Chain A
Amino acid sequence: MVDGKTQWKGWLYLAPALIMLAIFTFWPIINTLYMAFSNGYTSLGSAGGETYSLGIENFIKVIQYKGFVTCLKNTCLLCIITVPVSTILALLISVALNSIKVLNRALQTIYFLPYVTNSIAIGMVFAMMFNIVGLTPNGDSAITWGIINNIIQLFGGKGINWINAGSNYWANMMVMIIYIVWNALPFKILILLGGLQSINKQYYDAAKIDGASRSRILWRITVPLLSPMIAYVVITGFIGGFKEYTSIVGVFGNTMGPAGNPRVLNTIVGFIYDSLSNNNYGRASAAALILFVIIFIVTMLNMYVSKKKVHY
């Protein structure tokens, strides 16, 4: 059946995709590698016909650069905190949701809403909820504390300067963690709920006959049978977490930090874009490669762990 004509036809159907991929995917891979390993590569220098020696100078500069360490620290912290928190929360919510009938669909729709939002737009809403208007320099009184502080004060707590000028790093991080977890829940609930619905009911009937307790059923039956889905949301969570950027822009704006303290919350992706807008392509490429290696290692690690723990 295969003749010269179909040979030619297959490539014809693929041609549009392959041409696009060649320009915007394959060439960038080669070029980024070249730029990352060309010592001191800049776009201006390259346009001026400068030639570069090959080496790992860009990587050394990136790692030695103090701003990059901050970015790396922020990215890792956000990942390590938000991925487990959102996964456990999503697991509890989906198990609870799976056990009820009334309101099930309505709640499922509500939980999915954060997904169909613009992360910049809702970031601005979170900024407003944590924002304080007219805070005095000593931090004791303000015109408007913002709804989150109002709630804290209702329970007898003290208002906290979350995101305004002079705010503490951990307060900023707390806001970002809350926002990212809120934003990450819908996808995880969707996947885990889908997994739960495909678990055979016979396991639960058997456990009931044996008189197993609820928590025992959760940890001994539900979690092991759900482990492929849990592994999936953890891996995608880490991949997304290491690329965190727009949610921070949403809350803090392009300065990536509270007023008077820009860039304290910058991430690796933010670092890449900063280097790019400074025309420092070599450094941006080196940072992008470092990001790729980090994501690759973390994904492999996750796969290795899940291979040992995941029950298929």
Chain B
Amino acid sequence: MDKEENKMTEKVDSENIAPENDSVEIVKIEVSQEELDVKKIKRSQKIGKIAATVGVYIFLIFIAIIVLFPFYWMLNSSLKTIEEYKWTKPSFFPNKLDWANYYEAYKAASLGDLFLHTVYVGLISTVLSLIITVLSAFAFARLDFKGKNAVFAVLLATMMIPGELFTITNYSTIYALGWQNTFSAMIIPFLVSVFYIYLLRQNFLQIPNELYLAAKVDGTSDFKYLLKVMVPLALPTLISITILKMMGAWNTYVWPNLVANDDAHKLITNGLRNAFTAADGTSDYPVQMAAVAIVSAPLFIVFLFLRKYIMKGVSRSGIKG
């Protein structure tokens, strides 16, 4: 009420020119009023800012809970007995930790074999793929020969074609070569990635040409220069490629399912999906979730240690392969 009156008097006074001694008084009031207003605005701004920050945190933490919930529920369910899993009111922490699920899952899907197959395919294809990628990227970045740019353009153009278009013919090629149910069938068709060649070429191009010329003057061969200078300098890119390639082996499903789905060559994802296919709602979910947890764990551990490389690699590589 007081403030209202003050304002009123201010208005009246400023409209009608008041006697001198009065106006001094009014100026004083105005100043303090202004200070008050500034304080008020500052305070409300501060409150607004705090409220906004709290809102942002609530939103972000809510999303984080949604993101994490499936992982939590997977672990929670994987440690329950089947009886507890079927409780009408679910428990948010297992009453009795049933570690036997993990052993059973490991045995039921023969996860040990699947791990070995996947690591084998992943390692061999990563090593061979790195060799091919380094050699081609070097040729495109440093060597001069006729038709280089044309070949490079053709390679880049193939990146636009969806992989499914190649799959059909590659499938019959694998059969024509008699490679069905072999590890070669899963490794060799995917050794060359135009994208990785492109990525590494860009990296090689950043290395100053003077280094190359100096090495030439010293009589170093191209191959030695590539191995001793360029490869170490491009190591971060090579690590990113390695991780993405290993992740690819871990996640691939469609192609192995087509060409090598016998027990001696099955990869982890195929084994996982096919070992627990009872889709009638009666499958033993705790054991299934234990298997899923075992399969997910290695990628998580790798991610925790190599977070920087993975995120960098992914941000440059586009969609999940």
**From B189, which residue of chain A is reached at the shortest CB distance?**
A24
Contact A185 B67, beta carbon cutoff 8 Å? yes
Cβ contacts B182-194/A at 8 Å (1 or 0 each): 0000001111101
Q: Which residues of B contact A2 (CB under 8 A)?
A: 144-145
Q: A20-B132, A100-B56, A254-B277 are in contact. Are A10 and B164 (CB under 8 A)?
A: no
Contact A29 B191, beta carbon cutoff 8 Å? no
Kindly state whether residue A51 has any CB partner on chain B within 8 Å. no
From 248 to 291 in chain B, residues with beta carbon under 8 angstroms from any chain A beta carbon are 250-251, 253-254, 258, 268-269, 272-274, 276-277, 279-282, 285, 288-289
Q: In the docked arrangement, what's the CA distance between A60 and B86, Å?
A: 50
Contact A144 B192, beta carbon cutoff 8 Å? no
Contact B162 A291, beta carbon cutoff 8 Å? yes
Q: Which residues of A contact B274 (CB under 8 A)?
A: 254
Q: Which residues of B contact A100 (CB under 8 A)?
A: 53, 56-57, 60
From 68 to 86 in chain B, residues with beta carbon under 8 angstroms from any chain A beta carbon are 68, 70-71, 73-74, 77, 85-86
Q: In the docked arrangement, what's the CA distance between A153 and B256, Å?
A: 41
Contact B143 A187, beta carbon cutoff 8 Å? no
**From B168, which residue of chain A is reached at the shortest CB distance?**
A284
Contact A259 B279, beta carbon cutoff 8 Å? yes
From 288 to 315 in chain B, residues with beta carbon under 8 angstroms from any chain A beta carbon are 288-289, 292, 295-296, 299-300, 302-303, 307, 310-311, 314-315
**From B148, which residue of chain A is reached at the shortest CB distance?**
A10
**From A43, which residue of chain B is reached at the shortest CB distance?**
B172
Contact B132 A296, beta carbon cutoff 8 Å? no
Kindly state whether residue B138 has any CB partner on chain A within 8 Å. yes
Q: Which residues of A contact B19 (CB under 8 A)?
A: none
Contact B60 A144, beta carbon cutoff 8 Å? no
Contact A121 B319, beta carbon cutoff 8 Å? no
From 247 to 268 in chain A, residues with beta carbon under 8 angstroms from any chain B beta carbon are 249-250, 252-255, 258-259
Contact B314 A187, beta carbon cutoff 8 Å? yes
Contact B279 A252, beta carbon cutoff 8 Å? yes
Contact A133 B162, beta carbon cutoff 8 Å? no
Which one of B6-14, B29-37, B153-161, B228-236 is at the interface?
B153-161
Contact B272 A93, beta carbon cutoff 8 Å? no
Q: In the docked arrangement, what's the CA distance between A8 and B53, Å?
A: 63
Q: Which residues of A contact B172 (CB under 8 A)?
A: 43, 281
Q: Binding site of B, secondary structure by majority: helix, strand, loop or mixed?
A: helix
Q: Which residues of B contact A97 (CB under 8 A)?
A: 60
Contact A20 B191, beta carbon cutoff 8 Å? yes
Kindly state whether residue A23 has any CB partner on chain B within 8 Å. yes
Kindly state whether residue A139 has any CB partner on chain B within 8 Å. no
Kindly state whether residue B237 has any CB partner on chain A within 8 Å. no
13 contacts between A and B (CB under 8 A): A24-B189, A43-B172, A99-B56, A115-B320, A116-B300, A116-B303, A119-B253, A129-B73, A131-B281, A133-B86, A133-B282, A145-B88, A292-B165
- What residues make up the interface of A, taking CB atoms closer than 8 Å to B? 1-2, 6-11, 13-14, 16-18, 20-21, 23-29, 31-32, 35, 43, 92-93, 96-97, 99-100, 103, 107, 109-122, 124-126, 128-129, 131-135, 143-145, 147, 150, 164-165, 182, 185, 187, 190-191, 194, 214, 236, 239-240, 242-243, 245-246, 249-250, 252-255, 258-259, 269, 272-273, 276-277, 281, 284-285, 288-289, 291-292, 295-296, 299
